[in-house]
């Protein structure tokens, strides 16, 4: 079997590059459908968030597979697909991406789900994003037994790390740090400030939770879906304005949080300049958490405009990482232990059918011999028949024990396992 992970993330890749490679939900569905048509045997999950865009893939090797049987060739095939889908050159995608194969691909998934690879270590949001990506892939029919097992175990790993370490005990999500650290640099208090939220997704909701805690009371929500905006406004005692009144809402705002799924900036430099005079050139704090970005990056050059993107949180992330150094090694050890357990389970999964068939073969052979023996010895009592059956069971178990033990132990060495499985099948005439 082959395990693969490729992607771009905040560490190596600026937001301007990530937004070129990101997938909207509809694009994820389209991409998974295309992959399923091209390589029906390939299992795939696509994870696209503000800080990372990653493709996880797994393949059970079979004869006649259209997908490359070598991991490195498989990585190249996925990069080519990604480039074609986004209208980029393969070299552009390859330059922006890391890749992992084999156990390292699974380990990367576990680290991501446990929030140990996040910009802000310990942020709770990523575990939910991983599971959402997995559920979407399940819905699209692109997940098989390998990725089912991997993503279910990833969820268990995330819960185990949260329960057994202090990684998650502090505010570590992007919205919480953005509000408590960055917004506080501009405004001493929020009670008198007018907050505009553009978008009505989960991250917008989380950002509003922290803004309310900081004292924000005047909140306006603008979203393309008025129904979603109204639901959020009810929750946070805010007001709703239609998408067509976005300019008017920007004029009134002191603080803007924007997290939409737009594929290009919704507020350009030219559009904002047309509103400056009506705003009276008041200071404006803009927290653009969208990827691709919602606000033209050139707005940061304007006086009295404080524009921050997800990449601007890096310094705070570094500080949070240092604060969690004490528990970070323990969390990584938990991931490694879970990885070894998972890999053994996967390898035993290959020997499991052989062990089951071997036991069925031996049980059937034993039953036939017992029936023949009891026909020749009809006078045996129930107790005597039971003793004979017990002796046959002990004999068969003792004869099988070395073979079964070797099959279980072979899970730790895939090369030895393949040879042993073939030998057992041949010796016992198994399927």
Catalytic annotation, residues: 50
336 contacts 107 by C-beta, under 8 angstroms: yes
Q: Write out the two tokens for 194.
A: 């007018």
Q: What span, in angstroms and rounded, lies between the C-alpha atoms of 240 and 222?
A: 6
Q: Write out the two tokens for 20.
A: 């070129």
Length of the chain: 431
Which of the 8 DSSP states describes residue 300?
Answer: G
- CA distances to 33, 84, 99, 113, 369 from 27, in Å: 10, 13, 21, 22, 62
Q: Write out the two tokens for 214.
A: 């900081």
Half-sphere exposure of 337 (CA within 13 A, CB side): 11
Grouping H, G, I as helix, E, B as strand and the rest as coil, residue 95 is helix
Instruction: Find out whether the peptide bond into 292 is cis, omega within 30 degrees of 0.
Output: yes
Grouping H, G, I as helix, E, B as strand and the rest as coil, residue 44 is strand
Q: Write out the two tokens for 396.
A: 């068969």
**Would you give the distance in Å from CA 390 to the centre of its chain?**
51
Q: What span, in angstroms and rounded, lies between the C-alpha atoms of 256 and 265?
A: 14
Q: What span, in angstroms and rounded, lies between the C-alpha atoms of 88 and 280?
A: 42
> CA nearest 71: which of 5, 160, 2?
2
- CA distances to 25, 32, 48, 115, 122 from 133, in Å: 9, 11, 8, 15, 19
Q: What span, in angstroms and rounded, lies between the C-alpha atoms of 197 and 294?
A: 12
Grouping H, G, I as helix, E, B as strand and the rest as coil, residue 302 is coil
By the 10 Å C-beta count (0-12 exposed, 13-18 middle, 19+ buried), 114 is classed as: buried
């Amino acid at each position: 079997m082959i395990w693969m992970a490729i992607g771009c993330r905040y560490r190596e890749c600026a937001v301007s590059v990530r937004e070129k490679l990101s997938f909207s939900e509809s694009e994820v569905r389209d991409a998974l459908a295309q992959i399923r048509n091209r390589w029906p045997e390939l299992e795939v999950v696509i994870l696209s968030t503000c800080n990372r865009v990653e493709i996880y893939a797994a393949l059970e090797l079979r004869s006649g597979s259209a997908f490359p049987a070598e991991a490195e060739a498989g990585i190249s095939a996925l990069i080519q697909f990604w480039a074609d889908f986004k209208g980029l050159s393969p070299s552009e995608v390859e330059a922006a991406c890391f890749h992992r194969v084999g156990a390292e691909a699974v380990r990367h998934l576990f680290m991501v789900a446990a929030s140990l690879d996040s910009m802000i270590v310990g942020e709770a949001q990523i575990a939910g994003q991983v599971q959402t990506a997995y559920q979407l892939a399940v819905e699209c029919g692109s997940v098989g037994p390998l990725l089912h097992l991997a993503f279910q175990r990833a969820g268990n790993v995330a819960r185990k790390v949260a329960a057994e370490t202090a990684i998650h005990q502090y505010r570590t999500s992007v919205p919480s740090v953005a509000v408590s650290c960055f917004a506080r640099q501009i405004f001493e208090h929020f009670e008198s400030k007018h907050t505009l939220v553009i978008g009505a997704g989960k991250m917008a909701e989380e950002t509003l939770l922290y803004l309310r805690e900081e004292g924000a009371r005047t909140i306006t929500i603008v979203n393309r879906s008025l129904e979603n905006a109204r639901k959020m406004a009810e929750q946070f005692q805010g007001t709703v304005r239609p998408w067509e009144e976005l300019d008017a809402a920007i004029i009134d705002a002191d603080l803007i949080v924007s997290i939409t799924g737009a594929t290009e900036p919704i507020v350009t430099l030219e559009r904002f300049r047309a509103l400056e005079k009506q705003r009276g050139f008041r200071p404006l704090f803009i927290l653009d958490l969208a990827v691709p970005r919602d606000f033209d990056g050139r707005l940061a050059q304007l006086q009295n405009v404080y524009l921050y993107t997800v990449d601007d949180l890096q310094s705070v992330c570094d500080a949070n990482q240092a604060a969690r150094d004490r528990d970070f090694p323990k969390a990584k050890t938990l991931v490694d232990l879970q990885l070894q357990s998972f890999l053994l389970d996967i390898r035993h999964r290959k020997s499991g059918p052989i062990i089951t068939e071997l036991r069925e073969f031996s049980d059937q052979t034993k039953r036939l011999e017992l029936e023949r023996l009891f026909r020749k010895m009809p006078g045996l009592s129930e107790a005597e028949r039971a003793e004979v059956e017990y002796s046959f069971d002990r004999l068969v178990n003792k004869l099988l024990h070395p073979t079964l033990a070797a099959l279980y132990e072979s899970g730790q060495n895939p090369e030895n396992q393949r040879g042993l499985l073939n030998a057992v099948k041949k010796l016992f005439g198994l399927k």
